[in-house]
Chains A and B, each alone.
Chain A
Amino acid sequence: MNVPDHLKYSESHEWVDDSSAESAKVGISDHAQAELTDVVYLELPEVGRVVSKGEAIAVIESVKAANDLYSPVSGEIVEVNEALAEAPEPVNEDPYGEGWMIKVKLSDTSEVEGLMNATAYRETLS
C-alpha cells in the first residue's frame, strides 16, 4: 500500500496535506480506496460549510455500498474537487493526487498534529 511520507493520516483512513498555509487538502488513503473498491459516485459537501473533526461530510459510493467520509480536521470547506462528481475514477486511480476531495481552512491547526504520520499509519495497516 502506498503511504506517502509527507501526509498525515486519520484512523478512518483519510489523509491530510497541510503544506499549504491557506488550507489543508483532504482525501482518502490508498488502503481506503482499495477497501472501497470501484468508486462510482461521490457526494461532496457545499463550499462554505463549517465542519468539525469526525463529522460525516461526504458520501463515497461503490457498486456495493455507500460509505461516509469523515472530516479528519475542523474548519471551513473552501473548495471541493468538483471533477470527481462527474468522474470519480481518480479516487481509485490516484488517491493522493487527482483524487483529493476537499480543502479545509483549519480552525484549529493543532488538530493536524494529533493525526498519525506515515510511519504510524503504516503500522495500523500491517
Chain B
Amino acid sequence: MFDSPLHKRHIELGARMAPFAGWQMPIQYEGIVAEHRAVRENAGVFDISHMGEFEVSGPGSGAWLNKLLTNDLGDLNDGEGQYTLMLNQAGGVIDDLIIYRLSEDCHFLVVNAAKLDEDAEWLRRHVTEGIEFVDRSAEFGAIAVQGPSVVEIWNQIEPGHELPARNGILIRADGVVLCRTGYTGEDGFELFAPPEAISKWFDTFLGAGAVPCGLGARDTLRLEKGYPLNGSDLDPIHTPLEAGLGFFVKMGKEDGFMGCDVLKAQAEAGLTQRLVAIALQGKAPPPRHGYEIRNADGSEVIAELTSGSLSPSLGIGIGMAYLPVDQAKIGTEVSVAVRDRLFPAKVVKKPFLK
C-alpha cells in the first residue's frame, strides 16, 4: 500500500482514509456533499498523487502511440492534450487517459492509478526500436484544483503566471507541470510537482480558499457529468462505442489503431448495447454500483448499474448501465432494484448536470 506525499496533511485535516488502487487515499474531509458543492460553486483541491504519469519519446514515437490509442494525435499541436483510450485486440478498454503532445515525438500521458501497471506493461510489450517509454509516476505528487474560481485563485497565488489553455499542458522551469483538465466538469487544472513540493502547493490552494476534497466527491462530480470511471463503467469487454465515447475514437486514422477492426465491424453490424444515463424518478435510495436494472414492470433483469450515486447537485439518484439498445433510448422507463424493492427510473440524456 502506498502513501501519498500528502498523507500527513490528510490526517491533519481529519480525512477519512481508505485504500484505493493500492493507495491510502482520502475519501472525504468535511463531507461529500459539502465538498461537491465547493467544487460546483467555488473551488476544491483533490490529491491525485496516485495517478500515473508516463513519458514516451524517441523517433517515430508519436506515430507509434497513435496506433495504440483511439483518438488522433495528429489533431494536436505542441502543448495540447486530448482524452483518448487504449484498447486491447478485441476493442475492449484497457484504460482511458489524457495524452499531451510536448513535441511530435515526445508525449506526456496521465493514466488511472488502478491501471498503471497494466498500461505500462501493455506499452512496453509493444515498444519497437527507438521508442523510449518511461514511467515517471514516482517523480510526481499531484493535485487537481477544480471549480469556477480556480483562475481567480491561481492569479492570486501566481500573479503574472499563465495557466495553459483548455486541455493544454505547460511545463515550468521549476519542474511543475500544469494541465488544464479535470474530472469534475468544472474549469480547473491538474498540477504535478516533485513529491516533496506538492504539500506546499496543496496548502497554498487551501490558504487561497479552495476546499480539500476526497475521492467521494470526485466520484459524484464526475458522475453528474456522465464521465465514465474505468473499472466500473469501462472494462475490457466493452468497446468505447458501446460506452458512448465514439467522439474520442477516430476510425478514419490512416494507420488505424489497436482494436480498430473490431470497432469498425461493430459499428457496421450495429451496437447491441450502450452505456446510458439512468435517473431515478422521485424519492428513492441512492442507486449504487451493482444494483439490478429491470424493465419498467420489474419482470426482467436487463442490466446492472456500473456506477450509481445520489447526485448532490440534483438531489436525485443517478447511475449508468449498459442497456440493450432497444431499451437504451432516451425516455425509456426502467426500474432499479434496491433491497427487493423496485424504484422507477428513466434513461436520460448525458450529462445529468449541464
Contacts and interface: CB of A to CB of B under 8 A. Distances in A.
Interface of A: 37-38, 40-41, 43, 59, 61-64, 66, 85-86
Interface of B: 27-28, 31-34, 216, 220, 283-286, 288, 309-310, 312, 339
B281 to A, nearest CB: 15
B32 A86 contact: no
- The 3 A-B residue pairs whose C-beta atoms are closest, nearest first, are A63-B32, A38-B33, A37-B31
Contact of A41 (B32, B34, B220, B310): B310
B286 A41 contact: yes
B190 to A, nearest CB: 24
Contact of B216 (A40, A64, A86): A64
Nearest to A85: B283
A41 B315 CA distance: 11
Contact of A63 (B216, B283, B339): B216
B285 A64 contact: no
Task: Give the interface centre of A43, A59, A64 by most chain B CB atoms within 10 Å.
Answer: A64
A66 B285 contact: yes
A62 B219 CA distance: 14
B312 A41 contact: no
Nearest to B214: A64
B27 A64 contact: yes
A86 B283 contact: yes
A41 B338 CA distance: 12
Contacts of B283: 41, 85-86
Contacts of B220: 63
B44 to A, nearest CB: 15
B31 A41 contact: no
Contacts of A85: 283
B339 A64 contact: no
Given A37-B28, A40-B310, A41-B310, A63 B285 contact: no
Contacts of B28: 37, 64
A38 B220 CA distance: 14
A86 B315 CA distance: 12
Nearest to A40: B310
Contacts of A59: 285, 339
A86 B284 CA distance: 10
Contacts of A37: 28, 31-32
B167 to A, nearest CB: 29
A75 B23 CA distance: 45
Contacts of B309: 63
Contacts of B32: 37-38, 62-64
Contacts of B216: 63-64
